[in-house]
Structure 1
């Protein structure tokens, strides 16, 4: 890590420390034991970072002083002492840099950004590959739900559209838990490509299909204010499972946000009111994500789009069944245990993506 980059990060940590110091003494925080414990833990971590930062600045001042002696002093003995001192200072700086980086990284891991701590909406859609893509949506759904179980997260299906033969054309999940869900799952957004021999393939040829995954942070109504007059609401009979009831009543809901033209459907609940609430939640997350991307484009931050068209040429990850390999193309990392990966053991890849992002 470059010194200027580290100093910037340390400055941010110091600012966070000062803000946390003010928050932690507020009566409403002290009275809420859960919030207080979280903030106290954060405060103690940031305190260590700030201590290292102050020491780092002292060492940089000392380095300037010895450099001045080495450049301007003519006394040989003095220069030798300065050289010895410089070596010690550089060792100290290197040690502080490593400690600071580890603390900053662990702090990000535990607390993350505000979005990182949020629950999420997960959307899976079939792309190129027809029925095989729909089957792969089902496989990836199984992979994620097994990962959710290992992580202690709970999910509900908001919307599901079955494929032609088996699998899903589209499925949307509402995912909640105590830990930073978005901070882990945000790396899953993009196109996932599969290479395998379909069950319907008589000549044993490997086919390539693709699906898209979108992970959206869930937002509250105070974060995204939706004007109800901007929403067009349609109701229809559910086509999903649920017995005779769903075919007799128009409980399914379709919402269209007129300004952004975003459309959301929900039909998993028997109550139209509950379907409306879930659809609003998804709509809010999609609008939030749209606005977030617009802001990033305005300040010229280079960023790939969350979800492309599902075209097999635009991919973030490939699942190659004949070679028992899953490859993430963003970090050029392959794991040769596809069966384990598809059984929800995806944390290793996520950790590598986190490490890459922080570096």
Structure 2
């Protein structure tokens, strides 16, 4: 993404002071007299003062607009603080040119976009390749400077968050102590936790597991676990008594006590000593899947599938009831009900009802 700032004149010191401020916000930075290379959240931004009127910014990364807003805020803050009266225009690349991977995309100036907004024009045409760009989409590129712009950026942010949420949603998040991955000599006598994931995937379920269980922390994977429909959690003595699995054990506590997700416990290991721990108390009313016997593996996999399908049916019914349209919606204040006062609720000066509004239903 390439953005060009065009100043009516570029005051001495503005660019260099911006370099210093951006250095403080960067994960890593390289600075020279007429430019800076910034690294921020896996994004790269090259800022060049090309002449006495222009600053060119090139950004690479997943969300270059986020880095642009950071850079713009620094320049805008400096102009308001120390260079009052300096004006500038910002040019943004044509979105269709970017999609076509054109090396030098056409640049739409913010003054042109704002003029189109004033005239309520639905679109603007790219002068180089004659693409038709939506004014609303172009407006979202401009750093917010008014209430309407903030509302638009908020709307786009909510849309992006919903998109991320959909992309992160999986059927099952699967966690287990890494000690239960069998060695070559144990592969014929122990259930391999990785095989469970493979077999569930073959059944059409999307199953997520962290890259390495050893380095797993719930803070880094909170969203995917929160959005998963089920949590398949490996339970064993190693989970409870091995200090190296503390982060995994803490994740179990967060999932059950804070996220309150549906957990399907899967038993690994050789015995049930873990039942004597706090974990055993927490799972006392749970139906678990015993994977300690390799010979019963096929039957246990079927049990997992049955449990997920049963839960899916219950969720479908509740969603259907929630989304069902109604003829009348009754809204009322309980304190306005005469029944509420007669049943002990303290009366107020505005309590005016004679009966219980729920009786209307």
TM-score by length of 2: 0.23
Q: Which has the larger radius of gyration?
A: 2
- Higher RCO structure (Cα 8 Å, ≥6 apart): 1
